[in-house]
Structure formats: structure tokens, C-alpha cells
């Protein structure tokens, strides 16, 4: 006799991408939106958002396999491109509306931002703490990190950093390849679910 056994299927973790589209990120955001499109298009369990003066969900707009159509749709959806930034407020909106209700639970959350924030650092600290409790892992990609002598002194970045698991550069194609390899490995890691 042979015992028939079934194996548990491997289900990749959800990935959530939050891109800062404020004026200070202008030179990087246009390239990083392509990274978001490549991550979302045709892949299950990937969500994308823009963070500026408010939060904009971009998953539907970026799901087209046609890059020109996807980027045009995303550009039309984001009404505060190259405006100000209130990262803490945007993260609060994400946590309240999407994150803590399930989207961030056990997910790999990637924030692509220089950390410049016009809001209250205490709000950033609180919202990052909530996000970190819910997510499997929080990855922060900061294009400025590659600059010689860089230190995370911006108030928003300093408040967020204690709640970040991986702090990466995001200024070049090579740095995005490193990010992609890290995220692929994390998406197939064992489950851990927290609460907000």
C-alpha cells in the first residue's frame, strides 16, 4: 500500500508598493512608476499606490500589459504628481482604508520615497508602527541613500526608520534589481500575521 499525500501549495505573499510622487521625488518617480508597472502587470497579489498630498490606488491603472497605456492611465489618476507630500497622512489613509483591513496583513510592503515629509513626525512614527505590526516585512527604498555622506536626517525618514526592516538605495537599475531579488525571496517566505 502507498499512502497518498498532498503538499501544501506555495502561495506568494501579497506585495504592496507605495510610491512617493512629491516634487522632491520628481527625478526618480517617473522611472520608479515603470518599476511599479512591471511589478503589477500580469502578476497576482501585487497592489500599487501613489503617495503625495493624498493616497491614490494605482493597481487597476498599472495592470495593463501595454506600458504606454498603463503609465498614461496612472498619470491621469494621480492628481497631485510633483506636489507636496504628507507621507504620515498618506500612510494613515492606507492603514485605515486598505492596510489594516487585510491588504498589509502578512504582506511585503515596499515604500519608495526620499523620506521628506511636511507632516508631523509623530504621525509618521505612529503610522509606520501600525504598518510594521501588520506587514510581514517593510522595505524602504530611498534614492538619496546612494549619495556620499547620506544620513537619514529628514524628519519623516528619521521617524520611519525604526519601523523599517530593510533600507535600500533606489537610484539605479542595479539597485532596483537588488530590490526585486529581495522582494521575490520575501514573497515566498513563511507566513506571519500581525495586527494593526
Per-residue pLDDT reduced to its tens digit, 73-92: 999 999 988 888 889 999 99
Rounded CA-CA distance 33/39 in Å is: 10
- Judged against a pLDDT cut of 90, whether residue 189 lies above it is answered with no
pLDDT score of 153: 86
Mean pLDDT of 46-72: 94
* CB distance 114 to 144 below 8 Å: yes
Rounded to the nearest 10 degrees, the angle between the axes of helix 67-77 and helix 26-40 is: 120
pLDDT score of 191: 47
Over residues 144-153, the pLDDT tens digits come to 998 898 898 8
Domain 23-187 has CATH 3.40.50: yes
Mean pLDDT of 98-121: 91
Rounded CA-CA distance 193/69 in Å is: 36
> What angle is formed at CA 124 by the lines to CA 121 and CA 128, rounded to 5 degrees?
145
3-class DSSP assignment, residue 114:
coil
- Judged against a pLDDT cut of 50, whether residue 161 lies above it is answered with yes
pLDDT score of 187: 64
pLDDT score of 130: 96
Q: In what order do the strands lie in the sheet with 108-112?
A: 55-57, 46-51, 15-20, 108-112, 137-142, 166-169
* CB distance 136 to 103 below 8 Å: no
With bands split at pLDDT 50, 70 and 90, how would you rate the model's confidence at 192? very low
pLDDT score of 7: 66
pLDDT score of 138: 97
- Judged against a pLDDT cut of 90, whether residue 43 lies above it is answered with no
Helix (H) or strand (E) holding 125: helix 121-134
- Specify which of 96-100, 133-137, 150-154 reaches the highest per-range mean pLDDT: 133-137
Q: For strand 108-112 and strand 137-142, is the pairing parallel, antiparallel, or unpaired?
A: parallel
Q: Global pTM?
A: 0.89
pLDDT score of 6: 67
Q: For strand 55-57 and strand 46-51, is the pairing parallel, antiparallel, or unpaired?
A: antiparallel
Amino acid at each position: 500500500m502507498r499512502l497518498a499525500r498532498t503538499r501544501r501549495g506555495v502561495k506568494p505573499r501579497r506585495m504592496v508598493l507605495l510610491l512617493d510622487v512629491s516634487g522632491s521625488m520628481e527625478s526618480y518617480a517617473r522611472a520608479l512608476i515603470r518599476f511599479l508597472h512591471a511589478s503589477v502587470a500580469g502578476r497576482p497579489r501585487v497592489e500599487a499606490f501613489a503617495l503625495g498630498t493624498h493616497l491614490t490606488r494605482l493597481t487597476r491603472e498599472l495592470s495593463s500589459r501595454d506600458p504606454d497605456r498603463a503609465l498614461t492611465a496612472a498619470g491621469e489618476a494621480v492628481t497631485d504628481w510633483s506636489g507636496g507630500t504628507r507621507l504620515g497622512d498618506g500612510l494613515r489613509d492606507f492603514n485605515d482604508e486598505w492596510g489594516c483591513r487585510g491588504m498589509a496583513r502578512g504582506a511585503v510592503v515596499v515604500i519608495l520615497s526620499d523620506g521628506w515629509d511636511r507632516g508631523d513626525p509623530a504621525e509618521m512614527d505612529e503610522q509606520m508602527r501600525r504598518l510594521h505590526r501588520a506587514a510581514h516585512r517593510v522595505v524602504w527604498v530611498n534614492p538619496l541613500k546612494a549619495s556620499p555622506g547620506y544620513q537619514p536626517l529628514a524628519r519623516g525618514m528619521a521617524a520611519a526608520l525604526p519601523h523599517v526592516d530593510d533600507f535600500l538605495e533606489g537610484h539605479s537599475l542595479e539597485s532596483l534589481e537588488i530590490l526585486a531579488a529581495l522582494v521575490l525571496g520575501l514573497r515566498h517566505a513563511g507566513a506571519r500575521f500581525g495586527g494593526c
